[in-house]
């Protein structure tokens, strides 16, 4: 083992794997990557982020086998572990608490991702102002100045006396503030701007993200607090940086938007709740407003006869059922190759339903371009939408308008059979509660019309 390096000296560290040595090399001998060595300044471990976060001295500049810790972890029987009552911290925003599983669990880290300008900072600032906690709240900003955040809070009409602001990206400054303030609600906006000299001089590198996120998560695991980490996203919509960040945290939620001002909040990982819940917000002049009744966004209220190519289906998102409108359009193909244009419903599902109609009903789609949309911009993936999609395609192809106040539920097999789906009774209740007098379903429940095949469904709706 080499001698301990002197504090303040210059070392070169691989930004890919963390290997360090006193001279610059073109290729890392540990991971084999080229041009990854960056210059770092070694610091005293007693003032490093590890000692501040965990209350123990660690030497992160030394090798993996260095004995620089003042404690040692030892295994204990699982039966000897003391269980403590877990508590959730309500953010005061119902849709956010719904996605988190009833509130943010204490001693947990939550990663929030989304496109630039979608409203991540606005949502978390609103949550910090309305969080139901008697403790202190710390907002760490590495992207905006304190004046910008104050202006946003004034524009949204948020109370300012409960939030303390820290504008820095240096991990050691954040660690010092966490120890001094001891907050119960911490927001770091964003994790890509946090950096430490121990991991190099450039923020946002793989090493920086791993080190800084790990230190912050270690801090929250030892205290009754909640940590929110804001993360950037890549061009394809995934959270930027290594996937290791998603393994470090307890919950990963993402912000999505449709073509309008509606925002969708989904959980991709949740150790303390379901990942099936959907939070719906609408961007207004007073910030993000929670949408309590999603059907008001996804059902188009019309007077008079319905246009061809429209069908309504009750869908489930988590524990909540609401109705959405599927819209279809078919036009003759302008080339020998037909196409399916559908970004809210999987194009393969649309092609399969069209093939079933062509085979079992005799309605030709092989010379048609098919366009499918969902009102409100929500994405549909469950099999319960098959029957409604088939009715919309049939209506669009024949140019026949469906009757008013009709909803349909069911999975469609390749044989043209309408198969049962989960939570059918709750779906029917949601449709009838909004005034739909006729509900087509695989079974006769609470006044629904039972249909066994796609031909029976078409006969019940279009009388042919």
**CB neighbours of 358 closer than 8 A, spacing ≥ 6?**
364, 365, 366
Residue 52 assigned ligand-binding role: no
CA atoms within 13 A on the CB side of 402: 31
CA distance linking residue 275 with residue 273, whole number of Å: 7
Residue 117 assigned ligand-binding role: yes
What's the longest Cα–Cα distance across the chain? 88
Q: Which helix (H) or strand (E) holds 254?
A: strand 251-257
Q: What is the DSSP string of 359-399?
A: HHT----TTEEEEEEETTS--B-SGGGHHHHHHHHHHHHHT
CA distance linking residue 216 with residue 191, whole number of Å: 10
Residue 210 assigned ligand-binding role: no
Enter the DSSP assignment of 78.
G
Q: β-strands 108-114, 251-257: how paired?
A: parallel
Extract the tokens encoding 374. Answer: 């969902």
Cβ pair 68, 189 in contact under 8 A: no
Cβ pair 13, 19 in contact under 8 A: yes
Residue 102 assigned ligand-binding role: no
Residue 119 assigned ligand-binding role: yes
Residue 235 assigned ligand-binding role: no
Residue 304 assigned ligand-binding role: no
Helices (H) and strands (E) in the chain, counts: 12, 23
CA distance linking residue 195 with residue 146, whole number of Å: 19
How many residues appear in the chain? 464
Residue 202 assigned ligand-binding role: no
CB atoms within 10 A of CB 200: 23
Q: What would you report as the CA-atom Rg of the chain, rounded to the nearest whole angstrom? A: 28
CA distance linking residue 304 with residue 14, whole number of Å: 68
Task: Specify binding-site residues.
Answer: 114-121
Task: Specify binding-site residues for ATP.
Answer: 114-121
């Amino acid at each position: 083992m080499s001698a301990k390096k002197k504090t303040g000296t210059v070392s070169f560290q691989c930004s890919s794997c963390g290997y360090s040595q006193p001279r610059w090399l073109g290729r890392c001998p540990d991971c084999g990557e080229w041009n990854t060595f960056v210059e770092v300044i070694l610091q005293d471990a007693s003032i490093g982020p590890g000692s501040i976060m965990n209350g123990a001295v660690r030497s992160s500049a030394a090798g993996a086998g260095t004995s620089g810790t003042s404690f040692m972890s030892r295994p204990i029987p699982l039966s000897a572990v003391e269980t403590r009552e877990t508590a959730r911290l309500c953010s005061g925003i119902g849709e956010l608490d719904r996605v988190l599983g009833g509130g943010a669990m204490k001693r947990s880290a939550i990663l929030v991702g989304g496109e630039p300008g979608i409203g991540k900072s606005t949502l978390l600032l609103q949550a910090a102002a309305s969080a139901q906690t008697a403790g202190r709240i710390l907002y760490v900003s590495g992207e905006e100045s304190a004046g910008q955040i104050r202006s946003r809070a004034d524009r949204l009409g948020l109370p300012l006396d409960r939030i303390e602001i820290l504008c820095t990206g240096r991990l050691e400054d954040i660690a010092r503030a966490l120890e001094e303030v001891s907050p119960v609600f911490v927001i770091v906006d964003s994790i890509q701007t946090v950096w430490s000299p121990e991991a190099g001089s450039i923020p946002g590198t793989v090493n920086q993200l791993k080190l800084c996120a790990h230190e912050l998560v270690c801090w929250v695991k030892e205290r009754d607090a909640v940590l929110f980490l804001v993360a950037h996203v890549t061009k394809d919509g995934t959270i930027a940086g290594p996937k290791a960040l998603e393994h470090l945290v307890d919950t990963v939620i993402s912000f999505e938007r449709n073509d309008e001002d509606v925002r969708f909040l989904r959980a991709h990982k949740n150790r303390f709740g379901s990942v099936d819940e959907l939070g719906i917000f609408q961007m207004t002049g007073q910030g993000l407003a929670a949408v309590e009744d999603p059907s008001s966004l996804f059902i188009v209220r019309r007077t008079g006869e319905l246009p061809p190519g429209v069908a309504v289906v009750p869908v489930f998102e988590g524990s909540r059922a609401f109705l959405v409108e599927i819209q279809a359009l078919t036009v003759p193909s302008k080339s020998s190759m037909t196409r399916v244009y559908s970004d809210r419903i999987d194009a393969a599902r649309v092609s399969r339903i069209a093939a079933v109609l062509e085979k079992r009903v005799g309605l030709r789609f092989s010379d048609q371009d098919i366009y499918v949309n969902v009102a409100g911009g929500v994405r549909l993936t469950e099999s319960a939408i098959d029957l409604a999609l088939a009715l919309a395609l049939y209506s669009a192809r024949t140019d026949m308008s469906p009757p008013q106040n009709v909803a349909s539920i069911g999975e469609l097999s390749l044989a043209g059979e309408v198969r049962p789906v989960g939570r059918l009774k709750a779906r029917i209740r949601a449709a009838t509660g909004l005034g739909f007098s006729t509900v087509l379903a695989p079974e006769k429940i609470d006044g629904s019309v039972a249909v066994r095949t796609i031909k029976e469904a078409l006969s019940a709706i279009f009388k042919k």
